[in-house]
Structure 1
Amino acid sequence: MKIGLYFGTFNPIHIGHLTIANHLAEHSDLDQIWFVVTPLSPFKKKSSLLDNYQRLEMVHLATKDYDKLRPSDIEFGLKQPNYTIDTLTYLFEKFPNYEFALIMGEDNLKSLHKWKNYELILENHDIYVYPRLSEGKVETEFSDHPRIHHVNAPIMELSSTFIRNAIKEGKNVRPMLPEHVWKYLDEMNFYR
């Protein structure tokens, strides 16, 4: 089984995240997409970042109607600060029969050369890159690397920051969120 790992704080998860993940689940060789919720670093207190389990709950609510999309709290138990290579090593040990790939936006690919052990990641894992409207250029070594797959997914320029700010300003963000997530945020009075 080939699993695509989609990392993020998902604060909150929105329709852009779901659209990209579902596109990859339906139009690539990935069997499942796991939304890996990045835990809050104990050293960084961000008032706008909801608790780990509240964000995991939103991912659960957003993905529960999709067979190929799953929430994952795999990083919650790993030491912080955590690096992607550590998560991949842990997953390989826990699920030796699975193949793991990374999902990232084109903007993240531009900084991949700064990641810890990025050569090792590229040696052992495919990377699926979805388009973003962003400045700058991708490092030449990544432009036609055999492990890097550019996916023709819809360009989704919706951000969690925009959604949080809009909620704070009393704006209606309902169309930007999966229905279950919107209800949960509304009931819990998050980001107000």
Structure 2
Amino acid sequence: MKNKHIGLFFGTFNPIHIGHLILGNHIAEFGSVDEVWYVITPQSPFKQKASMLENHHRYELVYRATENYPKLKASKIEFDMPQPNYTSKTLEKLLEQYPDYKFHLIMGEDNLASFKKWKNYDYILEHHHIIVCPRIHNKNVPSELKHHAKVQYVDVPIVEISASFIRTAISNQQNIKPLLPEKVWAYIDEMNFYR
């Protein structure tokens, strides 16, 4: 399909949870994009974290979470890119692979507030639209970004769930099954992750 519009949702997804799915599905169904791709950020070799699952496990979780949603996809495009990686490089690589697609960045308002600190942020803004999801706590977004022609605020359900909360709860043997897609919980449980 030519000129497909793809929303890119970047994250470690450690683990992916229902908040991520609600947001991505809402943008795919009611927003201005045809699909949402969950771009899994690889674990940096410079910042090894014990609580971070290996890349292929986090990809498996995202794949399982999205496989029944035709408009949602798991992407491991960043896995083979040199580290540390920057979003602008990922966008360049995606455009090389899919020259007819239009890529839109999905981000929280907190990321937009610090967007000018991103490497090549001006290049990103020139070539891509940004879909901004509001947060419960307002952030001081610079006016020129908030009202920029390429920045679009979307009205999405705000679900404040953190992956770190989920990891801690699992390690404390507390039941957080309602916060995870069923297949994601089954894989975490089977593999004994975060315990």
Superposition TM-score tier, normalisation by shorter sequence: over 0.9
2:96 matches 1:93: yes
Query: Which residue of structure 1 lines up, in the alignment, with residue 161 of structure 2?
Result: 158
| Worse-superposed segment, 126-135 or 76-85 | 126-135
Secondary structure of 2:144's match?
A: helix
Query: Which residue of structure 1 lines up, in the alignment, with residue 17 of structure 2?
Result: 14
Size of the aligned set, in residue pairs, is 192
2:60 matches 1:57: yes
Deviation at 1:139, TM superposition (A): 1.0
Q: State the alpha-carbon separation in 2 of the partners of residues 38 and 165 from structure 1.
A: 21
Q: Any conservation in 2 of the 1:12–1:160 contact (CA below 8 Å)?
A: yes
> How high is the sequence identity, in percent, across the aligned residues?
55
Post-superposition CA distance 1:69-109 (Å, at most 9, x none): 00000000110000000000111111101110100011111
Q: Give TM-score scaled by structure 1 length.
A: 0.98
Q: Any conservation in 1 of the 2:109–2:139 contact (CA below 8 Å)?
A: no
Query: Which residue of structure 2 lines up, in the alignment, with residue 139 of structure 1?
Result: 142
Q: Structure 2: which amino acid aligns with 1:68?
A: K
Query: Which residue of structure 1 lines up, in the alignment, with residue 79 of structure 2?
Result: 76
Q: Structure 2: which amino acid aligns with 1:44?
A: K
Post-superposition CA distance 1:14-46 (Å, at most 9, x none): 000000000000111200100000000111110
In structure 1, stretches of 5+ residues that fail to align are none
Q: State the alpha-carbon separation in 1 of the partners of residues 157 and 11 from structure 2.
A: 18
Query: Which residue of structure 1 lines up, in the alignment, with residue 27 of structure 2?
Result: 24
In structure 2, stretches of 5+ residues that fail to align are none
Deviation at 1:135, TM superposition (A): 4.8
Q: Give TM-score scaled by structure 2 length.
A: 0.97
Query: Which residue of structure 1 lines up, in the alignment, with residue 183 of structure 2?
Result: 180
Q: Any conservation in 2 of the 1:106–1:130 contact (CA below 8 Å)?
A: yes
Query: Which residue of structure 2 lines up, in the alignment, with residue 117 of structure 1?
Result: 120
Deviation at 1:136, TM superposition (A): 3.4
Q: State the alpha-carbon separation in 1 of the partners of residues 117 and 34 from structure 2.
A: 29
What RMSD in Å do the two structures reach over aligned CA positions?
0.7
Query: Which residue of structure 2 lines up, in the alignment, with residue 48 of structure 1?
Result: 51
